[in-house]
Amino acid sequence: MKVIENKILPPKGFVAINLFTIILTRDKRELTKELLLHERIHSRQMLEMLFLFVYLWYVVEFAFRLIQYRNWQKAYRNISFEREAYKNQNNSSYLKERKLFAWVKYL
């Protein structure tokens, strides 16, 4: 997994963003092992969904959650991809045990 430090992405308030399995960060020093695992989980999700479909699903589910919760941050945290990544970012063996399309159970 490649990590690129830059001044544009992620948006303020976020430490990192994963685009096509490349981690973009404003400050590499903020990348903890938990955050890197969180982003590796996202990379696995992307590979399963053939990249394009993960982004389509993400946008649709975010829109649905935004209507559901009427709160941007709550909507983001309740996207199934994010729920899986946040729940398992502290389990160093998670990716070895993870089943295909595990994010579905977080819908």
- Per-residue pLDDT of 22-50, as tens digits, reads 999 999 889 999 999 999 999 999 999 99
Residue 76 domain boundaries: 2-106
Reference 77, options 91, 67, 66, 88; nearest CA is 66
pLDDT of residue 103: 97
Q: Which of 97, 95, 101, 86 is nearest to 38 (CA)?
A: 86
How many domains does the chain contain in total?
Answer: 1
Confidence of residue 94 (pLDDT cuts 50, 70, 90): very high
Six-digit token pair at 24?
């973009």
55, pLDDT greater than 90: yes
- The residue that leads in pLDDT, 20 or 1, is 20
